[in-house]
Structure 1
């Protein structure tokens, strides 16, 4: 009876889903190509190497035979069903009753001849033990689950990983251990460096960890949980990247040990959480068969869309089922060149950073608040009141500085921007710089994009706490500055210092006549997971341009 209900539910959901796809989506609808009904086995206990038992749900075709396995592993609760998404903020998401938050939908994959396993990490959901998010122990558990799944009677012996955000992040360390049955991975919206990608942006502490830890982790602890480390407290107590906590939680140099075929995707606008680290992960792994996809849409809506699923399925069909299809001819990088909110074209490239790009400089001129192709000849400066605001939404003109550049010809900015500034403060011993890149038409109307939190996002974001301005030159490139964040160098009032601000990657088209807007201020520019705390600003911050202080914005153009 359950299997028959599932068939009707799945087909009905697919008809509803595909009937509500964007008109811009021209991919072929993915419908079940096998008559598989669903068999569910909940809370199977799997013993880890140290005796702790983890709980898994197994969703598989209700028939004889063996099938490849798709595994997701995380702490949000595999049994918190159905997953809740807001149709306004998160988009048009249609999934079955079996799809936990940010994990592959068993209904879709089982219908196509796969087994889906959803597993609770230690101390979460229905699993025993102590919560160990991002730790090496979590990776060892993932290894053991992969090997368990690879030898079950219903398994073909090929295991793939798939999931979004934390269900993507956990894949890196597990894949670096090279479990024998791990065959391929789909890492969607992950990160690789908890300090720089999520907890501190440019050395400025993020608020994200506090709400995430309580709502996503503590609220999903298992009844048998034996403890957890207080990550928000540890992160707050360790403002430098050299602290041992970040060495324990980061994958570091082990990314190079990943050699399996990998499909990696991230929203190009998810600044402050996923964009930077996911791209860095793609660049660092050693897989000879790897793909990177950059999109500008709502991240969960896109992950579950027929468009994205078509490529996920093609990837797994080839590497888990050995199907001869066109995945090997798909360009290595697929990205959306954005023009506005949900408006862009699909482009491809052979690698990231995009080969053939040009690094161009737009020089700041504080005398008229412009960005120009040539250096500013005269020395000038401009100041803004950097004192932290209780509500950044009501910022006034004197609390930010804006520089503008009008493009005379179509310009595509694809990659990481860098802002070179000469700055000082008249009162404080430190400065928090919040940088935004925006787009405006010829009449100064701001053109919005899907942001990391809402539909009124900007082109790109960057941050820097000036006392953490020191660069690690062994890891910095001409395009991307890499801050060591392992020392505090405070400044004195009116001391002018030179800094480089990393602005997270973007893929944006500017037409002739459109304007690039550079915003610099003392607090968050857009509301989202980018929100920050413990702001050090007060008094006025001054930016210097011209003569021997040539502040500039470097942009990668195609």
Structure 2
């Protein structure tokens, strides 16, 4: 199996491997803290929450500047506890990177030349898991029935995040954005356009059809809960830095 491991400057290095995920992966959980907007391997001390309009930009969580290189290669997942003011909600989980000056790092992806580190999404009413097939880094959803939300009652969503790779240097920050709509790469562009859609991280595959996201259900307010009891976090495939 041949991998192309990416670097923040747009280069990559080829690597031959024997298995997937890599056997030497150190599965590392990064916890979200709504009180500080932080992302850390140390869990928050208390329970907190943050609200955002479901069709707005969402909520951001960032690590402190890294003190050593962070190598990520493999699949990932997120566990998010949320509530909604309506009977359903879409959740988009976007992994991001910023350079020491706060500039967004964009990466060439399979669908967009200005892609993010990785992304995953799930409709809350399809949160049911097949526990026999699910893995910590790869939740499995049968999508055989819908489970509507009770407004203001929290539920847990396990979200699969697409496999990715990146070597993140010291001084950079790792981030995650939780939102109810497609993430858009920040900046003024100009952005390439295909089929009338600006290429800002999602290619042409955007989720904006009102038939599938009707008003009154998907335009409410989403609340994300964090803390020891909530368990809101992302699980990342960290590779030993000494390689």
Shift of the alpha carbon at 1:510?
0.9
Say if 1:420 and 1:553, in contact at 8 Å, map to a contact too: yes
Aligned to 1:530: 205
Alignment TM-score, normalising by the size of structure 2? 0.84
| Cα separation, 1, equivalents of 2:236 and 2:126 | 23
Give the SS at the match of 2:7: strand
Shift of the alpha carbon at 1:343?
1.4
Residue number among 77, 98, 104 corresponding to 1:446 in the alignment: 104
Residue number among 212, 222, 230 corresponding to 1:541 in the alignment: 222
Aligned to 1:339: 7
| Cα separation, 1, equivalents of 2:167 and 2:66 | 11
Say if 1:437 and 1:519, in contact at 8 Å, map to a contact too: yes
Correspondences of 1:226-375 after superposition (within 5 Å): 333-340=1-8, 342-375=10-43
| Cα separation, 2, equivalents of 1:420 and 1:442 | 28
Give the SS at the match of 2:75: strand
Aligned to 1:90: none
Shift of the alpha carbon at 1:453?
3.1
> For the pair shown, which has the larger CA radius of gyration, 1 or 2?
1
Aligned to 2:84: 425
* 1:260-295 alpha-carbon deviations (Å, 9 max, x no partner): xxxxxxxxxxxxxxxxxxxxxxxxxxxxxxxxxxxx
Say if 2:8 and 2:168, in contact at 8 Å, map to a contact too: no
Aligned to 2:133: 475
Correspondences of 1:26-425 after superposition (within 5 Å): 333-340=1-8, 342-387=10-55, 399-405=57-63, 406-425=65-84
| Cα separation, 1, equivalents of 2:67 and 2:119 | 24
Aligned to 1:315: none
Say if 1:524 and 1:530, in contact at 8 Å, map to a contact too: no
| Unaligned runs of at least 5 residues, structure 1 | 1-332, 388-394
Flag the structure with higher strand content. 2
Flag the structure with higher helix content. 1
| Cα separation, 1, equivalents of 2:159 and 2:78 | 5
Shift of the alpha carbon at 1:517?
1.4
* 1:465-492 alpha-carbon deviations (Å, 9 max, x no partner): 0000011111111221111111100011
Aligned to 1:230: none
* 1:58-117 alpha-carbon deviations (Å, 9 max, x no partner): xxxxxxxxxxxxxxxxxxxxxxxxxxxxxxxxxxxxxxxxxxxxxxxxxxxxxxxxxxxx
| Cα separation, 1, equivalents of 2:70 and 2:113 | 23
Shift of the alpha carbon at 1:530?
2.8
Residue number among 510, 530, 543 corresponding to 2:168 in the alignment: 510
| Unaligned runs of at least 5 residues, structure 2 | 184-200
Shift of the alpha carbon at 1:527?
3.5
Correspondences of 1:18-33 after superposition (within 5 Å): none
Aligned to 2:187: none
Aligned to 2:196: none
| Cα separation, 1, equivalents of 2:10 and 2:40 | 29
Residue number among 101, 124, 127 corresponding to 1:466 in the alignment: 124
Give the SS at the match of 2:125: helix
Give the SS at the match of 2:51: strand
Give the SS at the match of 1:340: coil
* 1:147-178 alpha-carbon deviations (Å, 9 max, x no partner): xxxxxxxxxxxxxxxxxxxxxxxxxxxxxxxx
Give the SS at the match of 1:467: helix
* 1:287-311 alpha-carbon deviations (Å, 9 max, x no partner): xxxxxxxxxxxxxxxxxxxxxxxxx
In the alignment of these two chains, the number of paired residues is: 215
Say if 2:77 and 2:136, in contact at 8 Å, map to a contact too: no
Shift of the alpha carbon at 1:341?
6.1
Shift of the alpha carbon at 1:358?
0.8
Shift of the alpha carbon at 1:373?
1.1
Alignment TM-score, normalising by the size of structure 1? 0.37
Q: 1:478 to 1:455 in 2, by over 3 A?
A: same
| Cα separation, 2, equivalents of 1:530 and 1:361 | 29
